[in-house]
C-alpha cells in the first residue's frame, strides 16, 4: 500500500490530569470576584445550645427513600489490651544459616564487639560460601546459583494457601526462602530454554532467510493491506508511513506482527514487555471478520456494539468516527451508514459485502473496500489532515480525504492494474485456504493436541522437565509430597508470568544479546561511545569551570560588600568584628539570651550595629551600658541572671577598651580615596597631609634662596 501519510499537527494526546483547567472551563477567570451570601437569621440562634447532629443513613427500597439514624451503643464498645509489643513489629526476619549458600545474607550485625561472641570476618568467608554449588547436580543451568526473586503480597497469600489448604499431610512447611529459591530456579530454567526455542521470524527480520523469502513471495503474489511482507522498513498498517519519533513511535504487535503508529492506533503508553493489539489481546486464536470489508488482516478495533472493524475503515468511511481519538476506540456511527452504501459492489474483489467507499472524481461512482484499495495500491490521500482530525470527522473547509480508482489516479501515481490482479488473486485463493485449514483442523483433532510452549497470550508454560527440577530442589530441603507440590508451583509460576504479560520475574543480564551484532556494528558502537565519553569529559570540564567562576564571583561580591562596609561604616565593622563576634560565642551570652524576662533592647542595639547606625564607639558603649544598668536595677530579675549579665557586660567593657582610642575613619581616609561606591588606593599622602597641616602648594622664597637657585641654573 502506497498512500500519503498524514501530517502530524498536534503534539500528541494528553491525559485529563495533564490538561489545564481552561480547556474544560474557558470562561472561568481566577481574578473574578465571587459573591458571598450571608444568612443573618442564623445569628438569632447563636445563643441556643447546639445539639450534636446524629449520623444518618439512607435506605432505598421499592423506589422509596427512608432515612434512619445510625445509633451506636457506647456500652457495647469494648477495648482489649494489645498483647503484641512494639518491638515485635520491627519486621526483622532472621534468616537461618542453611540459606546463606543460596545467596542470602544475614542482617543482624553486632553493634558492639565482644571477643567471646563476635566472630572474626575473614577474606576467605565469601570464597567458602561461593564454592558450594547446591543445585549443579540437579541442572546444569543452576550453576553459581544466587537467589534473585523477591516475594510480594500475592506470593505471601499463595504460600499461605499452599501450606494450609492446598497440600495436606505435609509436616514441613515451605518457608519464604524456599519459595523464592524455587521461583528463581524456574526463571533460570526458562531463561536458558527460551534461547533454544526458535523465534518467530518476522517477514522483515532477515531478507535472506527462508521465512522472509516465503513472505516476500506471498507479498509479490497477493500484495498486503497491513504492511507485512515488505523487505525494507515495515510501514504503518493505518497511514502507510515509516517515519517515527519518540512521541509517535511505531510499535509491533507480538501476536500478529502488525506495525502501527502510536497516534494511529491509540497507544498512549508503550508497556514494558510484550505489546498486543486489541484483536490479539481479546480473541487471538479466533478468526474475526471486519464489519465493513472482507479482509481478515490488519489493525482492528471494536465498534460500540461489540463488532470488529479495521481502524483504516473507520477513518475512510465518511459516516464512521471514533468516540475517543486518544485511544482510537470505539468505532461509532455504524447506524448512520446509508443502506445504499451497504449495497455497493466492490469492483476489485467482486464481493457485495460490507461498506464501500467511492472514487472522489465527481463523474465517477466506482465503489471499492478500503482494504481492497490499500492492497491494490490505489491512491488514498489524507490531504494534509492529521489522524485525530480524520478519526473525529472534524475537517476544515480546505482539508478533505480523497481516494481515487485506478482510472482517475492523480498524475505520477503508480499503475494499479497489477495490484488489482494481486487482490483478486488473493480473494480467489481464500476458499482454497479455508479447505486446507479445515482438513488440517480435522487431522489435529484426530491426532490430538501436542504440547504447547506458550499460552494464547504468548506467556510461557512450564514443561514437565521444570516440574522434575523443582521436585529435586524441594527434595533437597526434605519436604514431603514434592511431586504434587512441584506441579502446583509451576502452575502458579505460569499464571504469574501471564499476569505480568510475559515479563520476566527476575531481571537478568544477557551478554549473548550483543552477539547478534556484526564486527562493524560493534566497532561503530564503540566509536560512538568514545565520542560520547569525550563529550562527557568536556561537559565535566565546563561544569567545573562554571563552578569555579561562580565561587570566584561569590568571593568577589563578598569582598566588595566587605569593602563597602569598611569604607562607609568603619566603626560598625570594627565593633562587629572585635566585640560582637567574640562576645556572642561565649556560653554566658547564650545563657543570657534564653532568659525571656530580660528587656528586648539588646536586639535593637545589635540590629543598629548591623545597619551601620553607630558612627563612634562611645555611642555604642553608651547604649550597652544603659542596657545592662537597666538589668541591674530591675528587682524582678533573679540574682543568677544578673550575675550572668555582669559577666557579659565585663566582656563588653574589656573588648571596647581595646578599640576605644582607635580613629579608624582617619586611617581609612589616609590610605584610600573614597568617592561614593568607588574605592581606590591612595597613590600619595602629600595632599592629605598638606590639607591636615594647612599647607599651600607653593610658598614664597627668601632673597637668599632665590640667589642659590639662580646660581644652580647657571
Residue 317's nearest CA partner among 327, 303, 305, 306 is 303
Instruction: State the CATH class of domain 567-662.
Output: mainly alpha
Lowest mean pLDDT among 381-385, 419-423, 473-477: 381-385
Lowest mean pLDDT among 100-104, 130-134, 140-144, 492-496: 130-134
All three cell numbers of 96: 537461618
Count of alpha carbons within 13 angstroms of residue 639, beta-carbon side = 0
> What confidence category does residue 108 fall into, taking pLDDT thresholds of 50, 70 and 90?
very low
Question: What torsion, rounded to 10 degrees, do the Cα atoms 401, 407, 409, 410 define?
Answer: -120
Task: Please answer whether residues 8 and 261 qualify as being in contact, where contact means their C-beta atoms are separated by less than 8 angstroms.
Answer: no
What is the pLDDT, as a whole number, of residue 215?
63
How far apart CA 589 and CA 650 sit, in angstroms, is 11
Q: Say if residue 677's pLDDT is above 70.
A: yes
All three cell numbers of 535: 563529550
What is the pLDDT, as a whole number, of residue 437?
60
- The neighbouring-strand residues paired with 680 are 673
All three cell numbers of 293: 470489508
What is the pLDDT, as a whole number, of residue 368?
93
What is the pLDDT, as a whole number, of residue 203?
42
Residue 310's nearest CA partner among 288, 325, 290, 280 is 290
253 exposure class (CB count in 10 Å sphere: 0-12, 13-18, 19+): buried
Taking only the tens place, the pLDDT of each residue in 56-71 is: 666 666 667 677 666 5
How far apart CA 457 and CA 454 sit, in angstroms, is 8
What is the pLDDT, as a whole number, of residue 541?
94
Lowest mean pLDDT among 62-71, 87-96, 404-413: 87-96
Average pLDDT over residues 367-373: 93
Residue 57's SS3 state is strand
How far apart CA 675 and CA 684 sit, in angstroms, is 16
Taking only the tens place, the pLDDT of each residue in 547-557 is: 999 999 999 99
All three cell numbers of 376: 491494490
Lowest mean pLDDT among 28-37, 289-298, 311-320, 690-699: 690-699
How far apart CA 513 and CA 320 sit, in angstroms, is 45
Q: Within 500-638, where are the H helices?
A: 519-568, 570-575, 581-583, 587-593, 601-610, 617-633
Q: Say if residue 587's pLDDT is above 50.
A: yes
Q: Say if residue 388's pLDDT is above 60.
A: yes
Average pLDDT over residues 611-636: 80
Rg (CA), the chain: 45
All three cell numbers of 546: 562554571
What are the CA-CA distances from residue 235 to residues 143, 300, 353, 400, 423 (Å)? 44, 16, 27, 23, 19
Query: What is the distance of C-alpha 52 from the center of its chain?
Result: 48
> What confidence category does residue 314 fall into, taking pLDDT thresholds of 50, 70 and 90?
very high
Other CB atoms closer than 10 Å to residue 416's CB: what's the count?
21
What is the pLDDT, as a whole number, of residue 186?
92
What is the pLDDT, as a whole number, of residue 624?
81
Mean pLDDT of the chain, nearest integer: 77
Polymer length in residues for the chain: 714
Task: Please answer whether residues 86 and 129 qualify as being in contact, where contact means their C-beta atoms are separated by less than 8 angstroms.
Answer: no
- The neighbouring-strand residues paired with 259 are 252
Residue 279's nearest CA partner among 321, 249, 310, 322 is 310
Residue 197's SS3 state is coil
Task: Please answer whether residues 641 and 592 qualify as being in contact, where contact means their C-beta atoms are separated by less than 8 angstroms.
Answer: yes
Task: Please answer whether residues 344 and 358 qualify as being in contact, where contact means their C-beta atoms are separated by less than 8 angstroms.
Answer: yes
Q: 210-431 in CATH: which number?
A: 3.30.40.10
Q: Between these two residues, 348 and 573, which has the higher pLDDT value?
A: 348
Q: Say if residue 79's pLDDT is above 80.
A: no
Residue 312's nearest CA partner among 344, 285, 290, 340 is 290
Q: Between these two residues, 454 and 423, which has the higher pLDDT value?
A: 423
> What confidence category does residue 291 fall into, taking pLDDT thresholds of 50, 70 and 90?
very high
What is the pLDDT, as a whole number, of residue 135?
81
Where in the chain are the domains?
105-197+459-499, 210-431, 567-662
What are the CA-CA distances from residue 373 to residues 90, 234, 269, 293, 349 (Å)? 68, 18, 31, 11, 10
Percentage of the chain exceeding pLDDT 90: 15
Burial pattern 169-194, b for ≥16 Cβ within 10 A else e, equals: ebeeebbebbbbbbbbbbbbbbeebe
All three cell numbers of 652: 563588653
Q: Say if residue 367's pLDDT is above 90.
A: yes
Q: Say if residue 593's pLDDT is above 60.
A: yes
How far apart CA 550 and CA 591 sit, in angstroms, is 39
* pTM for the predicted model, two decimal places: 0.41
Pairing between strand 259-261 and 300-302?
unpaired
Taking only the tens place, the pLDDT of each residue in 475-532 is: 888 888 888 888 999 999 998 988 887 788 887 765 555 555 677 878 888 999 999 9
Domains 210-431 and 567-662 share a fold: no
What is the pLDDT, as a whole number, of residue 223?
79
Task: Please answer whether residues 292 and 353 qualify as being in contact, where contact means their C-beta atoms are separated by less than 8 angstroms.
Answer: no
Amino acid at each position: 500500500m502506497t498512500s500519503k501519510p498524514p501530517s502530524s499537527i498536534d503534539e500528541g494526546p494528553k491525559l485529563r490530569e495533564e490538561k489545564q483547567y481552561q480547556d474544560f472551563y474557558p470562561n472561568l477567570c481566577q481574578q473574578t470576584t465571587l459573591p458571598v451570601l450571608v444568612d443573618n437569621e442564623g445569628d438569632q440562634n447563636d445563643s441556643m445550645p447546639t445539639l450534636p447532629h446524629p449520623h444518618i443513613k439512607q435506605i432505598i427500597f421499592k423506589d422509596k427513600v427512608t432515612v434512619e439514624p445510625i445509633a451506636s451503643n457506647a456500652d457495647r464498645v469494648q477495648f482489649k489490651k494489645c498483647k503484641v509489643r512494639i518491638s515485635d513489629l520491627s519486621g526483622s526476619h532472621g534468616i537461618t544459616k542453611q540459606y546463606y549458600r543460596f545467596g542470602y545474607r544475614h542482617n543482624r550485625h553486632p553493634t558492639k564487639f565482644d571477643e567471646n561472641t563476635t566472630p572474626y570476618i575473614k577474606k576467605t568467608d565469601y570464597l567458602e560460601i561461593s564454592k558450594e554449588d547446591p543445585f549443579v547436580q540437579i541442572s546444569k543451568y543452576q550453576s553459581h546459583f544466587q537467589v534473585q526473586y523477591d516475594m510480594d503480597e500475592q506470593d505471601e497469600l499463595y504460600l499461605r494457601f499452599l501450606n494450609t489448604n492446598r497440600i495436606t499431610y505435609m509436616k514441613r512447611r515451605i518457608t519464604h526462602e524456599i519459595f523464592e529459591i524455587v521461583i528463581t530456579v524456574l526463571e533460570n530454567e526458562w531463561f536458558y530454554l527460551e534461547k533454544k526455542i526458535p523465534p518467530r521470524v518476522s517477514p522483515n527480520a532477515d531478507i535472506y532467510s527462508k521465512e522472509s523469502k516465503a513472505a516476500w513471495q506471498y507479498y509479490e503474489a497477493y500484495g498486503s493491506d497491513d504492511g507485512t511482507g515488505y523487505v525494507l522498513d515495515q510501514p504503518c498498517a493505518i497511514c502507510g508511513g515509516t517515519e517515527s519519533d519518540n512521541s509517535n513511535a511505531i510499535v509491533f504487535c507480538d501476536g500478529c506482527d502488525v506495525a502501527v503508529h502510536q497516534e494511529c492506533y491509540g497507544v498512549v503508553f508503550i508497556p514494558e514487555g510484550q505489546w498486543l493489539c486489541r484483536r490479539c489481546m481479546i480473541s487471538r486464536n479466533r478468526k474475526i471478520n471486519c464489519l465493513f470489508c472482507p479482509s481478515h488482516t490488519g489493525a482492528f478495533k471494536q465498534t460500540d456494539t461489540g463488532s470488529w472493524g479495521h481502524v483504516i475503515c473507520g477513518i475512510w468511511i465518511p459516516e464512521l468516527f471514533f468516540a475517543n481519538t486518544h485511544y482510537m476506540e470505539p468505532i461509532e456511527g455504524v447506524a448512520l451508514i446509508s443502506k445504499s452504501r451497504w449495497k455497493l459492489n466492490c469492483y476489485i474483489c467482486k464481493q457485495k459485502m460490507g461498506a464501500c467507499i467511492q472514487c472522489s472524481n465527481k463523474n465517477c461512482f466506482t465503489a471499492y473496500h478500503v482494504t481492497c484499495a490499500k492492497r491494490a495500491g490505489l491512491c488514498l490521500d489524507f490531504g494534509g489532515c492529521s489522524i485525530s482530525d480524520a478519526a473525529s470527522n472534524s475537517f476544515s473547509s480546505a482539508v478533505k480525504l480523497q481516494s481515487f480508482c485506478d482510472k482517475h489516479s492523480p498524475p505520477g501515481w503508480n499503475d494499479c492494474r497489477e495490484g488489482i490482479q494481486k487482490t483478486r488473486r488473493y480473494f480467489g485463493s481464500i476458499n482454497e485456504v479455508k479447505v486446507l485449514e479445515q482438513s488440517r483442523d480435522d487431522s489435529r483433532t484426530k491426532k490430538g493436541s501436542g504440547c504447547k510452549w506458550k499460552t494464547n497470550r504468548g506467556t510461557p508454560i512450564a514443561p514437565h522437565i521444570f516440574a522434575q527440577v523443582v521436585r529435586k530442589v524441594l527434595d533437597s530441603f526434605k519436604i514431603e509430597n514434592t511431586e504434587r507440590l512441584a506441579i502446583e508451583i509451576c502452575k502458579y509460576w505460569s499464571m504469574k508470568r501471564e499476569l505480568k504479560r510475559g515479563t520476566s520475574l527476575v531481571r537478568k543480564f544477557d551478554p549473548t544479546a550483543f552477539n547478534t551484532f556484526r564486527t562493524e556494528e560493534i566497532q561503530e558502537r564503540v566509536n560512538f561511545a568514545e565520542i560520547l565519553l569525550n563529550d562527557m569529559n568536556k561537559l565535566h570540564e565546563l561544569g567545573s569551570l562554571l563552578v569555579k567562576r561562580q565561587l570566584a564571583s561569590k568571593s568577589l561580591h563578598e569582598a566588595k560588600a566587605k569593602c563597602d562596609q569598611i569604607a562607609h561604616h568603619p566603626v560598625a565593622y570594627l565593633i562587629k568584628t572585635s566585640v560582637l563576634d567574640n562576645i556572642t560565642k561565649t556560653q554566658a551570652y547564650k545563657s543570657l539570651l534564653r532568659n525571656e524576662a530580660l528587656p528586648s533592647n539588646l536586639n535593637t542595639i545589635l540590629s543598629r550595629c548591623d545597619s551601620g547606625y553607630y558612627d563612634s564607639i562611645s555611642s555604642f558603649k553608651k547604649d550597652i551600658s544603659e542596657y545592662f544598668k537597666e538589668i541591674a536595677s530591675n528587682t524582678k530579675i533573679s540574682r543568677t541572671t544578673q550575675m550572668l549579665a555582669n559577666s557579659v557586660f565585663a566582656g563588653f567593657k574589656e573588648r571596647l577598651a581595646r578599640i576605644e582610642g582607635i580613629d579608624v575613619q582617619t586611617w581609612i581616609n589616609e590610605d584610600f580615596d573614597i568617592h561614593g561606591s568607588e574605592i581606590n588606593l591612595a597613590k600619595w599622602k602629600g595632599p592629605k597631609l598638606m590639607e591636615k597641616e594647612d599647607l599651600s602648594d607653593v610658598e614664597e622664597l627668601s632673597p637668599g634662596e632665590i640667589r642659590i637657585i639662580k646660581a644652580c641654573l647657571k
